[in-house]
Structure 1
Amino acid sequence: MGIGMLLAAVAVLEQAERLPPPPFTATTCIDNKFEFLHDSNLERVNFIAVGSSVTLHNVDLSVIAQRFPHLRPINAAPCHLYVDQTKFLVEFLLEGMPDVQTVLTVFSPRDFQNCNVADTEFFDRTLAGWYVFDKHYPWLVYLRAIGTAPFVSAVLAANRATPEWDEFGTMPMRARQQVELPAYLDPRCFAALRELEHGLAARNVRLLVVTFPPMPGWGQERDHRFIDEWNRGLRATLREPTTQLIDGARVGLREDDFADPLHLLWPSPTRFTSYIAEQLAVADS
């Protein structure tokens, strides 16, 4: 099939509303976020939230925008990322958003489960930059993917209803679900966090690390020891004086605030983010 026919096929799928988001990763929730960033005005963005779904669903950046009028925040977090992949995504975003002064990430132990170097670079930075920052139509991305099994599956399952982002890119969680926490921590993830912190400090960008609070009533004694081990690892890893580590457990959330051990039900992220904003204000005072 020639390029012209492939392009025509893409156009037909788009008109029929069967065209998936540009398949940079073939993971819908990640590709949807690239599409959101492409559609957003990223000029003068100076505050970004980045991470896994723990960041995607759990921050209400309207709180940050209202509390700090000089900040222009956006939630660039997709889903399913581990710490090394978050580092890779942050580095990509900073290349195209030179005004960023603060990076916020909300972590749970799940983010530290598996930092396999073979999976770190989970998208093509050149193509993504061409799409996200230069705002080009992603013909080349579709041409590379069309006809592949993941793309065909995505077309067959396509639902082009707009994802429920708020204006800042957060996706509210509105239903409870079952999620299991990992049983181990990967030391490579702590090493990746240290590298992320060091790289941000070299750019004069502040890192805010927020720990997601344990769900009340969840877990056994072993699980609480596991959480304690994770918290100790964070404190031992983060060394830069400009880094701020915020203990999310101090928010005092109730069990009915949680969708699962990794996510809050909306509007509980508003309260959670209000606490983050308070800690940020104290640090800046």
Structure 2
Amino acid sequence: MPASVFARFNRALVVWIAAFLSSGSIALWMLNRAGHLPPPPLTATNCIDEKFKFLHETTLTDRNLIAVGSSVTWRNLDFSAVDGRWKSLRPVNAAPCYLQIHQTAYLTEFLLDEIPTARVVVSVVSMQDFQNCSEDEKFFDSSIARRYISARETSWHLYFTNFRPRLFLQDVAKIRSMRDGTRNREPLVMDQYGSGPLTFTPPEVRSDRAATPECLKHMERLARELRDKGVAWVVVLLPPMPAWGRSYDPSGSRDLSWRQGVKAHLERTGTVVLDGRFGPAVDDNDFTDPDHLHWSTVPAFTRWIFRSLNQQSAIRAAFKDDASAL
């Protein structure tokens, strides 16, 4: 084949690629202007990628407390309820959604590398976080996330390198209503700390679940790593939703076994464990579903957490200048 044919082919390929990138960039710009541009697809899961977008846009260099976990952490902490009482508290809720506890461990290790000022990690958990730890824990590329979050690298190229047409178009259609809270059962609304309120009613009982033993082992491994780094870990067990218990665990034995298992694996690591059963009294209307409190209940739950932490020497040591304000 003559060399001129290869030359024409290469020129055509370059022109085609340039046209694709140019048209794609224009389309992304137009979607962004219209408020329909999904977050950069680090994972192609919108509620995870939206949290990475929040972290990208947020100053993290002085944060001394980070909340990490699944949506059980994301949606069940309201730091504005305690901000004025803990004078040096500089929290960020870095929890996304859908994580199992081994994936929470992976994200926690990544965040502590990016936020070396963090002295305390808080994770609110439910049995949902302990169902299946057999999937790959590395649910995102840490090198890409590091450049995106810490180096504030531009994100446009991510739309091309991790492009998934079907998921992208689905998100284009709904991302705006998720961000403004119109889709109130899957909102991506976040407060200044990164927490994500849920406010829909009536509450949903949803499906059954059960913890698996390997997840507890992953949790204990993370606890030991945090202890070795001198970082205090606070694990808060969400109170059980009464309606879920009536439907799937009427004796309460499975819920109690899970709570005892968490405590047994953490008691020798120095981790602070708070059991929400002994927190503010709750009924079904205080929940949106078994894993999330209604946002109107979250402030009291958060205040109970921090009042309980006042009794913990490890936490008091982490916030020495707050001792009189706790």
Report the alpha carbon displacement of residue 25 of structure 1 after superposing the two structures with TM: 1.1
Percentage of matched positions with identical amino acids:
36
Counterpart check, 1:208 vs 2:234: yes
1:66 aligned counterpart, secondary structure: coil
The equivalent residue for 2:298 is 269
Contact 2:41–2:163 (CA<8 Å) still a contact in 1?
no
Cα distance in 2, alignment partners of residues 270 and 244 from structure 1: 20
Match of 1:121 among 120, 125, 138: 138
Cα distance in 2, alignment partners of residues 139 and 202 from structure 1: 38
Q: CA-atom RMSD, angstroms?
A: 2.0
Report the alpha carbon displacement of residue 103 of structure 1 after superposing the two structures with TM: 0.4
Cα distance in 1, alignment partners of residues 139 and 206 from structure 2: 23
Cα distance in 1, alignment partners of residues 122 and 110 from structure 2: 15
Contact 1:127–1:141 (CA<8 Å) still a contact in 2?
no
Match of 1:70 among 81, 84, 88: 88
| Count of matched residue pairs | 284
Which residue identity lines up with residue 174 of structure 1 in the other structure?
T
Match of 2:209 among 163, 183, 186: 183
Match of 1:92 among 84, 91, 110: 110
- Structure 2: state its 5+ residue gaps: 1-15, 181-187, 317-326
Which residue identity lines up with residue 139 of structure 2 in the other structure?
F
Contact 1:21–1:32 (CA<8 Å) still a contact in 2?
yes
The equivalent residue for 1:142 is 159
Cα distance in 1, alignment partners of residues 233 and 221 from structure 2: 12
The equivalent residue for 1:237 is 265
The equivalent residue for 2:194 is 169
Contact 1:64–1:73 (CA<8 Å) still a contact in 2?
no
Report the alpha carbon displacement of residue 243 of structure 1 after superposing the two structures with TM: 1.3
Report the alpha carbon displacement of residue 7 of structure 1 after superposing the two structures with TM: 5.3
Counterpart check, 1:43 vs 2:61: yes
Cα distance in 2, alignment partners of residues 188 and 140 from structure 1: 37
Cα distance in 2, alignment partners of residues 32 and 158 from structure 1: 10
Report the alpha carbon displacement of residue 42 of structure 1 after superposing the two structures with TM: 0.5
Contact 1:145–1:151 (CA<8 Å) still a contact in 2?
no
Report the alpha carbon displacement of residue 59 of structure 1 after superposing the two structures with TM: 0.6
Cα distance in 2, alignment partners of residues 109 and 7 from structure 1: 47
Which residue identity lines up with residue 275 of structure 1 in the other structure?
W
Which residue identity lines up with residue 242 of structure 2 in the other structure?
P
Report the alpha carbon displacement of residue 193 of structure 1 after superposing the two structures with TM: 0.3
Counterpart check, 1:195 vs 2:230: no
Report the alpha carbon displacement of residue 224 of structure 1 after superposing the two structures with TM: 1.1
**Residues 54 and 210 (structure 1 numbering): CA distance in 2 closer, same or farther, change over 3 Å?**
same
Deviation larger for 156-165 or 85-94: 156-165
Structure 2 length as normaliser, TM-score? 0.81
Report the alpha carbon displacement of residue 138 of structure 1 after superposing the two structures with TM: 1.2
Match of 1:25 among 17, 35, 43: 43
- Structure 1: state its 5+ residue gaps: none
After superposition, the C-alpha distances for 1:50-93 in whole angstroms (9 at most, x for unaligned) are 11111111111123422211120010111111100100110111
The equivalent residue for 1:10 is 25
Deviation larger for 20-29 or 5-14: 5-14
The equivalent residue for 1:257 is 286
Q: Where do 1:97-116 residues align within 5 Å?
A: 97-116=115-134
The equivalent residue for 2:6 is none
Report the alpha carbon displacement of residue 119 of structure 1 after superposing the two structures with TM: 2.6
**Residues 4 and 188 (structure 1 numbering): CA distance in 2 closer, same or farther, change over 3 Å?**
farther
**Residues 102 and 170 (structure 1 numbering): CA distance in 2 closer, same or farther, change over 3 Å?**
same
